[in-house]
Structure 1
Amino acid sequence: EISGREFERAAMVVPFEIEGIRDRFIAQLDLGSEGSVLYENGLKNYFDSYPWLRAKIDSSRSVYFDENRVYEFKDIVLKMGSSYVWHRNTYVMVGFGDEVPKDSVGSMVPKHIGTIGRDLFRDNILILDYPGKRLCMVDALGDDQLRQFDTLDISIEVVGGIKMPIKLGDELHYVMFDTGSSIFPLLMADSLEWSRVADLTSNDIDTLLIHSWGRLIPIPGAPVKNDVSISVADKNVSDKIRVYYWPIQGEFFREENLLGIMGNVFFLNDVVMIDFKNNRLGILRRKT
């Protein structure tokens, strides 16, 4: 429950391991984030048992990630399933996250200590099986496998993220596909566009208080107006969604020519393929 409204799926969480540590960890899968980050508060009680872990943090080089200071995490090896990923572009977010109690270090209870961004899947194909609650990463798909997907062209950018097309009526727009925005079908960054689409005369208007990288942000939402159609991959989804207004980062979305952010809600019954090599997104056709 968030701000009095029930949500069946509030986040997409994936298991992972850090090579050299037997504990099990989990992280939010956030394809809206360019970088993967681990949380300092979640790691600090591991430093005494694993001094090499602290030694991999380069505190001489700090940058800011959405207003939070991060250090580079050097030569860390993360394991997801049977795939090992050696990854230099991993960071530690300073003073962030929940502390893992000392008596939990060494236990097999999963600990939430990070966020997995899209950098981990660069030059690969990511397949998200929403109904089956599974994901996999592959180097390539065969022609017969690709033909099972309805695909659309997207662009994948360092700053702008995964940009995919949607239609408002006959107007073509682009949104950032963001698995980190699980509860939101569509977050619109322009208040005028939002008021053009949202039915602000409805009795079903709410405001959700959302935690975003340490900040609490009020997000107003409403149903779509009856005379407005929203289409994703040629499917009209207007009657299935609410539209919300994202009151921050408006300049960023204008510069990136983005209408806003699209979360997981559209795809909860689908298998989705994101081809980071060839800039395309596919939805597996359902068998009839």
Structure 2
Amino acid sequence: MAISAATVKELRERTGAGMMECKNALVEAGGDIEAAIEAMRKSGQAKAAKKSGRIAAEGAVVIEIAADGRQGVLVEINCETDFVAKDASFGHFAAAVATTALNSAAPDAAALAELPLAGEPGMTVNGAREALITKIGENVQVRRLVRFDGAEGRLYSYRHGLRIGVLVELVGGDETLGHDIAMHVAASNPLCLSADEVAPETLEKEREIFRAQALESGKPANIVDKMIEGRVRKFMEEVTLLGQPFVKDPDLSVEKLVKQAGARIRRFARVEVGEGIEKRTENFAEEVMALQKD
């Protein structure tokens, strides 16, 4: 039978389950939304949806690169504790999601969620995620997907533990150089590749800070201007990959390292687990005291 988009939307809002899971539940329930909710509760999907509201700031970054080295993905998958991040079931799910991403054209995590999961016939990524939540008792989220397609050069990667993943596209050079640059990105966390990629508003903000600091010195205006420009150059070296001192040889910039090898860095991406997620801190004793005051 035909199920309206509005009915699917309502069920999704009430349960938090995925779009396809909601549609299938409604079809099986003959369009009865209450019956669909009851069936989903019995199957554990609604239980999983409730856990999906909990903060998940731990997890893993998984990397997949195609055999020809010209296509690759970085996927961040979150859970609530580092204990679960090391669990075999979580690791198996994360690896399967990365394989699914590599073998698809999904541009982001939302699109990836509705795709069939690699190695799991009849199961979508979101369906498998909900099943995993029910199994391990923690919220699990596929949070970010970064993909590099159509590489001009070759892609190289580096993963620091489970938490930091890097992809680098290098034109020319070799595997050792590609690995070293990816490792450098993981360690130094550059803002962008080169000075011309620094946003004008970011640069102006830094100039204002440097200007305020320099004026406090009481030096003449011409000296202040030179101080500002010197600090701006230093800032550019610190935040751009090409300007940074190479971690394995600080006397050599990354730009010089690459030029010596006759190579060129085209792009890079760095993903760290939990970036931008505000972790909630709870103090049970303080909550009890607050209740006593009411």
TM-score > 0.5, shorter chain as reference: no
TM-score, L = length of structure 2: 0.25
Look at both structures and tell me which one has the larger radius of gyration over its CA atoms: 2
Determine which structure has the larger strand proportion and give its number: 1
Q: Which has the higher contact order (CA 8 A, sep 6+)?
A: 1
For normalisation by structure 1, the TM-score amounts to 0.25
Give the structure with the higher percent helix. 2
